[in-house]
Structure 1
Amino acid sequence: MAVTYLLQVQTSIGRRDSGILKITTASGDPPSAIALLERYASLGCKDELEQVLVKGRDWCAEVLQSHASHPLLIYFRSLETRAGWPATLAALLDLAAVIEAIDEPKLRGKAILLREEGTNLADELSKLLRLDIDRPTTDREVLQQILERAARAGYGTPKPHGLERLASLRKRYAPTVEALSRHLGSPPAPLLPNDRGLSREELAQLT
């Protein structure tokens, strides 16, 4: 019985951390959605984002199933990266939310499914841990920078009210994921690489 349990734990952690490593390798440690989008664009493999969304949704479902069944898994740290699993979840949710806010019809449906699965993961585990959730607001200038950088990287332009849509989506999931990060003492996923907004001059240099 004990051996079987240990094997289940090892398998669950291995699957979780494999997803973390794939995201952090592509987008930094801790990861960010805009870094991932820019990385895929620079490598000429934007078409693979569909699979990132699909596999990200599968990852969220697997983590929820394993961590809700064996809550101790929540506290197991990833050895190969300083970013914990909440940061990977946040980056995936931000990725989905950004795609929903821009004109990318081919990716939109899969982004919605990922966002719903990831939000459910955050909600269920935060309830399990009985976490207090703060509701800070996100700087809209930072969100605007993200949409502008996505467009410059070759993705769709923001939809009408895209900024409002992105802010509304993040208001729903970001506080919960940040509470999970605080509870586990792991760094949150930055909206922008290095967790800071870029000045107008710095943004101009990216073009």
Structure 2
Amino acid sequence: MNWLAQIVGVGVVILALIDIYLTVLFPRLGSSLLSLPLSKGIWCLFRLAARAIPFKGDRLLSHAGSVALIVIVAAWIFFLSCGFALLIWYELGSSIQETEGMTPTGFATAFYYSAYSFTTLGTGDILPKTDIQRLLMVLEAALGFSTFTLTITYLLSVYSALIKRNTFALSLHHRTSGTADAVELLVGFGANSEFNGIQQDISNMARDLINLLESQHSYPILLYFRFRQTYYALARLLLLSLDTATLIKSALNPEEYRSLVRSTAVAELWGGSLQILTEVSCTFLPKNHPNINERQEQLWRQRYYHAVERLRSEGIGTVTDLEEGATSYISLRRKWQPNLTALTNYMAYEWSDMAPAERLGNKRGDVERERRTGNN
């Protein structure tokens, strides 16, 4: 029984150390053993709690990321302390003894001794009596000191990345005047029908997006920092980035703005956005994504008509064949809309919260379609 407990203890310690290594020192999306499953589990519990008390749901969900961080750190401490406790459990009363009186031999005492050593508080009232146990205590104390140091570094890095993500999201929110409409971004870039410096603006936007991609790679738990203000949502941020790139590719006049449409800045914006969405989808989201139906495509078409009308009203050159452009827009949107809808649902948002401008755009699209039909 002694050897079995020690084997299990070694396994638990190794498991915790590997997870710390993969989470903090070699962070890659989906590579952790404990942290990612724990984060998903915490999020599921918060989702269930939010459904049970819907009037406090948004407020409750906003704490999920922070609680998940606490649980992950607590899990590392618990697994390491528990693993070492299993290693020394059967040594109590022999090579590990109470300073005064009889030495308790229960697992609770072993865990107390292990946790005392792990937190580097000292030897306490139970002391190792052999060289092996002294070395084991020193090893555990060293691992405890390292774990707490790495934990502090990890927490600072996560919140630094979170601030950058929120800054980027807030910037896009204000650039669209709070409308969450990619058309307003393009109109702002092309004020007075001139796109002077737009490639630099798009390049800066793409750079922030690539930084976000690497942050999400390194700190998957970032996804679970869900705020009540919808403009901070990753889904809205990706919607603005993807819809901006989609409209540039499908709505702008390809001859007049050839250098922009085919620029590396637009390619980076499109590719980076799709990569974030695809990787988040593969790692976090359920496999049964919403299907695209004819009604949705019709709404996208109306959205496109409104976008083109808005661009033309600002003197920005658009495609000459409106229907061909609409078909291109729908084709491009098919590549990202199902995953984005799934992400919105997973994070307990409504699609109308992510894209409030589309409701108004669809109504205007109806008017535009009726006008064109009447002219024909």
Smaller-chain TM-score bracket: 0.7 to 0.9
* Greater relative CO (CA pairs within 8 A, separation 6+): 1
Q: How does 1:26-105 map to 2 (within 5 A)?
A: 26-29=175-178, 31-42=180-191, 46-78=195-227, 81-83=229-231, 84-101=233-250, 102-103=252-253, 104-105=257-258
Superposed displacement of residue 86, structure 1: 1.2
Superposed displacement of residue 200, structure 1: 2.7
Deviation beyond 6 Å, 4+ runs, structure 1: none
Superposed displacement of residue 78, structure 1: 4.8
Residues 133 and 49 (structure 1 numbering): CA distance in 2 closer, same or farther, change over 3 Å?
farther
Percent of aligned pairs with the same residue? 22
Superposed displacement of residue 194, structure 1: 4.8
Return the alpha-carbon distance in structure 2 between the equivalents of residues 159 and 135 of structure 1.
Answer: 31
Of residues 144, 147, 167, the one that matches 2:305 is 144
Determine if contact 2:180/2:355 at 8 Å carries over to the other structure: yes
State whether structure 2 residue 274 is matched by structure 1 residue 119: yes
Letter in 1 for 2:354: P
Letter in 1 for 2:363: G
Return the alpha-carbon distance in structure 2 between the equivalents of residues 98 and 20 of structure 1.
Answer: 19
Unaligned runs of 5+ in 2: 1-149, 372-376
Superposed displacement of residue 126, structure 1: 0.7
State whether structure 2 residue 152 is matched by structure 1 residue 3: yes
Determine if contact 2:193/2:314 at 8 Å carries over to the other structure: no
Compare CA radii of gyration and give the structure with the larger one: 2
Structure 1 counterpart SS, 2:230: coil
CA offsets 1:78-120 (integer angstroms, 9 cap, x no match): 57x4321210111111111111112122321222331121111
Of residues 165, 178, 199, the one that matches 1:16 is 165
Superposed displacement of residue 43, structure 1: 7.5
Residues 51 and 135 (structure 1 numbering): CA distance in 2 closer, same or farther, change over 3 Å?
farther
Determine if contact 1:68/1:125 at 8 Å carries over to the other structure: no
Residues 194 and 19 (structure 1 numbering): CA distance in 2 closer, same or farther, change over 3 Å?
farther
CA offsets 1:4-35 (integer angstroms, 9 cap, x no match): 01111111111111111111001144511012
Structure 2 counterpart SS, 1:133: coil
Of residues 319, 324, 339, the one that matches 1:176 is 339
**TM-score scaled by structure 2?**
0.49
Higher mean displacement: 179-188 or 42-51: 42-51
Of residues 119, 122, 135, the one that matches 2:291 is 135
Q: How does 1:184-199 map to 2 (within 5 A)?
A: 184-186=347-349, 187-190=353-356, 192=358, 194=360, 196-198=362-364, 199=366
Return the alpha-carbon distance in structure 1 between the equivalents of residues 274 and 225 of structure 2.
Answer: 21
RMSD across aligned C-alpha pairs, in angstroms? 2.6
Q: How does 1:160-171 map to 2 (within 5 A)?
A: 160=321, 161-171=324-334
1:200 corresponds in structure 2 to: 367
Report how many aligned residue pairs link the two structures.
202
Structure 1 counterpart SS, 2:291: coil
Return the alpha-carbon distance in structure 1 between the equivalents of residues 171 and 273 of structure 2.
Answer: 17
Structure 2 counterpart SS, 1:123: helix
**TM-score scaled by structure 1?**
0.84
Return the alpha-carbon distance in structure 1 between the equivalents of residues 224 and 161 of structure 2.
Answer: 13
Return the alpha-carbon distance in structure 2 between the equivalents of residues 43 and 11 of structure 1.
Answer: 37
Superposed displacement of residue 122, structure 1: 0.4
Residues 50 and 91 (structure 1 numbering): CA distance in 2 closer, same or farther, change over 3 Å?
same
Return the alpha-carbon distance in structure 1 between the equivalents of residues 166 and 194 of structure 2.
Answer: 23
